[in-house]
Structure 1
Amino acid sequence: MTIAEVSGKFDITQDTLRYYERIGLIPHVNRNKSGIRNYTEEDCNWVEFIKCMRSAGLPIEVLIEYVGLFQQGDETIKARKKLFIEQRKQLIARIENMKKMLERLNYKIASYEQAVVKKEKELQR
């Protein structure tokens, strides 16, 4: 697939794909004779994985570390697992924080709804 096709498929800009490749998040992408990137299914799997992990809030630096460990082979499985366990803990903490923010927003919205009803009743008198 061309960079434009991958960009469209995953809704990621071509510049972002180039950046991910440059910093090592997407291991070596083959190029054709004209130098145009030719993404394989494996490359696309990396793009999908990175997009998922970024959506979960994993920092670029953590993903770079993960890819480096992955490329070193099976002797890094424990290190990769440890990395993801730590990231999971941080994600759980963010989710709990977001739940608290949602509760507060719901409270504020309910307060405003009550205020609107009260105001409407006053205007009807």
Structure 2
Amino acid sequence: MDDVPLPPVPEVGPEGVPIGRAADLLGTTVDTIRYYEREGLTLTRPRRDPGGRRRYGRRDLAWLAGLAMLRGTGMTIQEIREYVAAYRADTGVAERLGLLEAHRDRVIARLEETTRHLAALERKIDAYRAASA
């Protein structure tokens, strides 16, 4: 995911940031980052400091931000695995583009459905307001 524009990631020093700070910067949890690592969704294992604690650099944060974005749009872990596998296999842009376009189509369909539900909810609220006036 570092081959496409991602949300801005704060600059970090050469030593990187600990996992708690990485979670804060990404608006996620330490458990989520560890889960992504266990599931093999990160590009590499994080560096460790002399005490054995994880350290995340800018590239790590950008990749994790991409994972968070995909999850936030409803991509399943299995679909993310497919994307990560295509990325690692360096299959070229076409396969990854296809995966992202298919996901975007699903997101748009869900958004349209949610918009219809929201309109129905607004009508119901309006009806209750009118009835209680």
Matched pairs, number: 116
Q: Which residue identity does 1:22 align to in structure 2?
A: R
Question: In 2, Cα distance between the equivalents of 1:109 and 1:96?
Answer: 20
1:93 correspondence with 2:109: yes
Question: Which position in structure 2 is the counterpart of 1:121?
Answer: none
Deviation per residue, 1:61-113 (Å, 9 max, x gap): 1111111211122x332111111111111111101100110011000000011
Question: Which position in structure 1 is the counterpart of 2:52?
Answer: 35
Question: In 1, Cα distance between the equivalents of 2:31 and 2:71?
Answer: 16
Sequence identity percentage: 31
Question: In 1, Cα distance between the equivalents of 2:98 and 2:52?
Answer: 38
Question: In 2, Cα distance between the equivalents of 1:101 and 1:51?
Answer: 26
SS at match of 2:109: helix
SS at match of 2:126: helix
Answer 1 or 2: higher relative contact order, Cα 8 Å, separation at least 6: 2
- Structure 1 runs, 4 residues or longer, greater than 6 Å off: none
TM-score (norm 2): 0.82
SS at match of 2:47: coil
Q: Which runs of 5+ in 2 are unaligned?
A: 1-16
Question: In 1, Cα distance between the equivalents of 2:21 and 2:85?
Answer: 26
Larger fraction in helix: 1
Q: Which runs of 5+ in 1 are unaligned?
A: 118-125
TM-score (norm 1): 0.87
1:62 correspondence with 2:79: yes
Q: Which residue identity does 1:101 align to in structure 2?
A: H
Q: Pick the structure with greater CA Rg.
A: 1
